[in-house]
Structure 1
Amino acid sequence: MVQASRDEACLAVRLYNDPAEVRSFEGFVVHMHMAWLYLLHAEFTRDDVDYRYWQQANPRRLEKIDGEPKRWELARSGLQRWPNPQDPVRANLEFFIGLRNKVEHRFASEQQALSAAVSGQAQALLLNYEYELTTQFGVSSTLATRLRFPIFVGSFTDEGEKALLRLRRRLPSSVRKFIAEYAAHLDESVAGDPRYELRLRVFQELAPKDPEALAIQYTRYDDLSDKDRLAVEALGRKGKVIVRERVRNVVGADELRPTHVVEAVKSRIPYRFTSDDFQRAWKKLNVRPETNSSTPERTDERYCTYDKRHGDYGYKPAYVEKLVRECSTAKGYTRLTGKPPRDAVTGLLVDPS
């Protein structure tokens, strides 16, 4: 059962990384679903957990399908493995169960857009699987020797990053709405956990080659010192650093311009988000003073700071996350902006009720 599970996971990743595969993302979701199901059933079998369904009317009789006992599906198996509803691994797994039900056999032309929109959750799904596999059945079962870091362009170039953002906006409104609403209902501690969605900042290392080091090395946030954590957080969600001789201080390195905030929010919610919405939002949330205020420095420093030298404001990545949470549902969008939302793709008004 474990070997069958590993085979499904490897097939899922191969499909995901194959640019010629028409239904690559759907294949990844389906086969990772099977990999997780086989893995959890293997655990239950080992631990003598009865994962068969019994008839409610007659608890002594098994439910059967084509003469075979009906066994727990992945959702029910997940409840058994992670009873805490706030567990980020369970939240990630349930996200993909819901997404599979939403996209299976549909949206074939939007496979690239789907993979771009939820790549962080997909990476977390695989890493969670690897952790569960090796902790339950030993390090000899790892997929690390079979799955390698793919060669790709993606967000390593400015053009690639812009293309990925355009792809996200092409998603059907029903899928964008599912992704946004699922995240909106999660506790912040779960939504920000890398076991729910993995986010990576990649640095090109300018250093002598170490023959013992791997080309790609992964450092966990929890393993960093307090000083290193502050440095990483200062980069912001879109921060980029090129190191030449030494690190130099950069004022506002983690802050965004209003247009960048609008673009970031627009790419992550199922509704249109404009500069007018941006202005309405900061006024509603009291993020900063009105224009020409005598005290422009009185901002909500969690989200915004005033630059006296340039006479303008910089907005923090936390403010983007705040706007995404507020505007991920029709009611939340209307509550914040004071107007009904418009569908991001069609432009049609959406009933906020």
Structure 2
Amino acid sequence: MMARPPRWQATLDASVEEACLAVRLYNDASESRSFEGFVIHMHLAWLYLLHAGFIRDGIDFRYWDTRYKHRLLKVEGEPKRWELERSAKERWPDRKDPVRANLSLFIRLRNRLEHRHAHADAALMLNLSGHAHALLINYEEELTSQFGDDYSLALRLRIPLFVGTFSPQGEQALRRFRKTLPTDLHGFVTEYESGLDEKTINDPRYEFRLRAAVELAPKDPEAIAVQFTKYDDMTESEREAVEEMGRRGQVIIRNKKQPVSGLGRLMPGAAAKEVEEGIPYVFKQHHFTEAWKRLKIRPATGSPQPHQTNTDFCEYDEPTNSYRYTRAYVKHLIKRCSTFQGFMEATGKEPEPKPACQTESS
């Protein structure tokens, strides 16, 4: 009679399945949102992996109702369990831990990716490829260190085939493509990394950077086609050789990011001007003011809680006691105010056609 599997087995199996699916999506160039799929399924893989460890170790990861001592919080009849952010905090209490910092980046990114930025998927993948590889490698390390080598993803995933070298034109094309990342997503990554110290940012567990070299040594029948050597395991002379390679040429480029205040944000006058350029009606700053009031985008001037804004559309700047607006809000206003009825609903005022434009008034 076969022994009953441990309580954590089903959760761990689900975790491994999610990780394998995430990698398949990442490597599938035909998927239009492959990077978003990778982020979502790696999120689930990590969640199930940490929960499996909690089950094994007898850690209660359910939420309890603080008002009643012995009552669990429930969602649709099931106990509410720790989300990934809370689980990561339990596993790595130090917020500066590079594994936790990498995981937190993708948790926040997942919340921003859902239902948005489909056109930016490929550019985002290129900009965050090192972070994505670190996310997967960290998962493999946690998986095997906690549950044994028999669970390694190496037994389930194939080495991907890829173009080993690019022409100078291809390299330049990739560099140009990196710059197509939408401003708000670029600002999101910049702002997140501005809160990390240099030691964490440069740790390969936060962002994995790989330099590839064609092996010219005689073939070893015991070796696999692609092998990985950690920098810490190299001799001093080997490290010097690798660093010299880095000075002569780059394969993967990582740009140092500096925090920029108000990156991609607009002041009211500039925002109103862009809206007017995109619609057939006159749209001035007083229209813009009426719109944020009626649509409840931000609190009224002088509010004791000025920071309570619609964060997708507006941000409060404490040092200047002013508000800055996102391009997403400008696009929202352009879409709404392009019709007579939409303009009326957004501003409460009857639209005035531009002199050169003839529009229907109904």
TM-score norm. by structure 1 comes to: 0.68
Match of 1:152 among 162, 165, 171: 162
Of stretches 105-114 and 6-15 in structure 1, the one that deviates more from structure 2 is: 105-114
Greater Cα offset, 149-158 or 130-139 = 149-158
Structure 1 residue 185: deviation in Å?
A: 1.6
Residue 31 of structure 2 is aligned to residue 21 of structure 1: yes
Q: Where does residue 35 of structure 1 map in the other structure?
A: 45
2:72 matched residue in structure 1? 62
Q: What's 1:193 paired with?
A: 203
- Cα displacement (A) at 1:236: 3.0
Within the candidate set 259, 263, 284, 1:328 is matched to: 259
Is the contact between residue 78 and residue 90 of structure 1 (CA under 8 Å) also seen in structure 2? yes
Kindly report structure 1 stretches of 4+ aligned residues shifted beyond 6 Å. Answer: none
**120 and 193 in structure 1: CA distance in 2 versus 1, 3 angstrom threshold:** same
Question: Given residue 144 of structure 2, which amino acid in structure 1 is its aligned partner?
Answer: T
Cα distance change, pair 168–10 in 1 and its aligned pair in 2 (3 A): same
Structure 1 portions without partners, runs of 5+: 242-263, 269-320, 333-345
CA distance in 1 between counterparts of 2:50 and 2:248 reads 37
Q: CA deviation at 1:240?
A: 5.3
Q: Report what 1:128 is aligned to.
A: 138
Pick aligned residue for 1:176 from 186, 192, 198? 186
Matching residue's letter, 1:123: H
Q: Is this contact kept in 2: 1:110–1:171, CA < 8 A?
A: yes
Task: Indicate the structure whose relative CO is greater, using CA pairs within 8 Å and at least 6 residues apart.
Answer: 1
Compute the displacement of 1:237 (Å): 6.6
- 1:154 CA displacement: 7.4
The residue that corresponds to 1:204 in the other structure is 214
Give distance in 1, aligned partners of 2:157 and 2:23: 8
Distance 1:115 1:240 in 2: 18
Higher mean C-alpha deviation, range 166-175 or range 117-126: 166-175
Distance in 2 between residues matched to 1:156 and 1:54, nearest whole Å: 55
Aligned amino acid, residue 259 of structure 2: S
How far does the alpha carbon of each residue in 1:301-341 deviate from its partner, in whole angstroms, 9 at most, with x for none?
xxxxxxxxxxxxxxxxxxxx4xx3xx332389xxxxxxxxx
Q: Which residue of 1 aligns with 2:353?
A: none
Deviations 1:176-205 (A, max 9, x none): 001112122211111000000000111112
| Distance (whole Å) between structure 2 residues aligned to residue 55 and residue 155 of structure 1 | 57
Distance 2:180 2:215 in 1: 34
Matches within 5 A, 1:1-353: 1-153=11-163, 156-236=166-246, 239=249, 268=255, 321=256, 324=257, 327-330=258-261
Cα distance change, pair 156–136 in 1 and its aligned pair in 2 (3 A): farther
TM-score, structure 2 as length reference: 0.67
Q: 1:147 to 1:99 in 2, by over 3 A?
A: same
Distance 1:132 1:10 in 2: 15
Offset of 1:58 from its aligned partner?
A: 1.6
Q: Deviation per CA, 1:17-50, whole angstroms, max 9, x where unpaired?
A: 0011111000000000000000000000000000
- Which amino acid is the alignment partner of residue 134 of structure 1? T
After TM superposition, give the deviation of residue 233 of structure 1 in Å. Answer: 2.0
**Aligned amino acid, residue 330 of structure 1:** S
Deviation readout 1:260-303 (Å, 9 max, x if unpaired): xxxx7xx94xxxxxxxxxxxxxxxxxxxxxxxxxxxxxxxxxxx
Deviation at 1:238, TM superposition (A): 6.9
Residue number in structure 2 paired with 1:283: none
CA RMSD of aligned residues (A): 2.4
Which ranges of structure 2 fall in alignment gaps of 5 or more residues?
1-10, 264-273, 275-316, 321-362
- Following superposition, the deviation at residue 231 of structure 1 comes to 2.2
CA gap of 1:52–1:155, structure 2 versus 1, over 3 A, is farther
Distance 1:130 1:190, change over 3 A: same
Q: Distance in 2 between matches of 1:238 and 1:175?
A: 31
Deviation of residue 103 (structure 1)? 1.3
Q: Structure 2 vs 1, CA of residues 155 and 165 (structure 1 numbering), >3 Å: closer, same or farther?
A: farther
Q: Write the distance in 2 (CA, Å) between the matches of 1:132 and 1:11.
A: 18
* Letter of the structure 2 residue corresponding to residue 209 of structure 1: K
Aligned residues: 257
Secondary structure in structure 2 of the residue aligned to 1:235: helix
> Could you tell me how far 1:211 is from its partner in structure 2?
2.0
When residues 165 and 59 of structure 1 are mapped into structure 2, their CA distance, relative to the original with a 3 A threshold, is farther
Deviations 1:142-165 (A, max 9, x none): 110221221122764433322222
Q: Following the alignment from structure 2 to structure 1, what is the Cα–Cα distance between the partners of residues 164 and 170? A: 5
Is the alpha carbon distance of 1:99 and 1:240 closer, same or farther for their aligned partners in structure 2, counting shifts above 3 Å?
Answer: closer
Corresponding position of 1:291: none
